Chain A
């Protein structure tokens, strides 16, 4: 039986409340949490870390603060590492691209990475630096991309960065489907024996809206929406191949209770089918 954990993304205060009220109902199968926070945030990180350990749950950090594709802010990095140590985080996961301009947090205006050889080099140097100062694993996530910003192909770009830096990947299926739409191409997934599958440590799933705008296929990441059967089918294939995956993460911020419960049930069905003895 595979030990892939089922996770959801949460804020610190949400997670504290969840542990206080108990993981019941659909949440009963959740045993991993990806914590979204910003470096200025102050709160009960240590307490929540202990609560997670007591509940036999693990935590990863999604700081949404680090510009892995450009110059790293070392103060921000130091704070992220400090929180990771405090909470005994399993890994740090971060989208490539630009999250911050000075103090300004870009949020949904995250700037996609330039997919060029220079960018590969810069990202690799940043990742090597991070790994030199902390033993905690760093995972790079493919960010939401709405248009082509460089000549390097998606899988070549991520594989090369990971092989050069020994970092791993948080593969976001919705972001990848969106990327393919932005490139006007079918969704291509590497073959089962491709090296990249061994580098993927977590798979992210969320809802998305797909439509045509001025004659071109576009999309938006929608954490409030149900995860479609189409995305679940892709998740099934990914989980079969990513044999070293630690978790599958559902991103559902803002979704209503019914959608959340349905998403969890659907993904549990995928996991049970994939890993049935």
Chain B
């Protein structure tokens, strides 16, 4: 845990500010004692700040992610922020927590969608050859894809811009022709 350099009082303090079950905490806010309601407000303030940054950074991917996996996935990213102390900025910590969380789901396409959105945001081009690497279980995975990711992403972006209901996102066909190259590290 990267909060080790803090005293134990503040480590405990931080764990309370970045809990894993934020949504349940929010639902019980109205029934909580007054002092506790103020603490919950501070937690929710931080959680919403993270949601704002995620939605601004990956407007399409975040919508896809939460539509498929539910808002609960955001709680995992939130609880992971304070472990990202190699970052200098909160925004980078949120980015890293999101990527790490999604990279852990080796079967999912979410990681690739996030990376693809970052790539086209930087390049300004919707259509581009996409290549990314990541490390999983002692292997370096090099992912190369071209039109498939672009097709998926275009559909996602279309749904997002038209405020499609979440069920639309779940019905999308995930690309079958992603190319993985595994290299032992």
Binding site for B on A (CB under 8 A): 38, 40, 67, 69-71, 98, 101-109, 111, 114, 116, 118-119, 122, 146-149, 182, 184, 213-216, 218, 220
How many chain B residues sit at the interface, stated as a range, is 20 to 34
| A184 / chain B contacts, CB cutoff of 8 Å | 34
Pick the contact of A216 from B3, B6, B13, B34 — CB < 8 Å?
A: B34
Q: Is the CB of A114 within 8 A of B5?
A: no
For residues 84 through 117 of chain B, which have their beta carbon under 8 Å from a beta carbon of chain A?
Answer: 84-90, 93
Closest to B92 in A: A104
Q: Is the CB of A111 within 8 A of B90?
A: no
A-B contact count (CB 8 A): 91
Contact of A109 with B49 in the complex, beta carbons under 8 Å: yes
SS of B interface (majority): helix
A-B contact pairs, 20 of them (CB 8 A): A70-B10, A98-B14, A101-B5, A102-B2, A103-B88, A104-B2, A104-B85, A104-B93, A106-B90, A108-B90, A111-B14, A114-B9, A114-B10, A146-B38, A146-B41, A147-B38, A147-B42, A214-B40, A215-B30, A218-B38
**B39: interface (CB < 8 Å):** yes
Q: Of A103, A106, A215, which one neighbours B37 at CB under 8 angstroms?
A: A215
User: Judging by beta carbons under 8 Å apart, are B88 and A147 in contact?
Assistant: no
Q: Give the nearest-CB partner of B37 in chain A.
A: A216
- Measured in the bound complex, the distance between the Cα atoms of B14 and A67 in whole Å is 14
B8-27 vs A, CB cutoff 8 Å, 1 = contact: the mask equals 01100110010000000000
Given contacts A70-B6, A71-B7, A114-B10, contact A101 B38 (CB under 8 A): no
Q: Is B137 an interface residue when CB atoms closer than 8 A count as contact?
A: no
Which 3 A-B residue pairings sit nearest by Cβ, starting from the closest?
A102-B85, A147-B38, A146-B42
Report yes or no: A98 in contact with B90, Cβ–Cβ below 8 A.
no
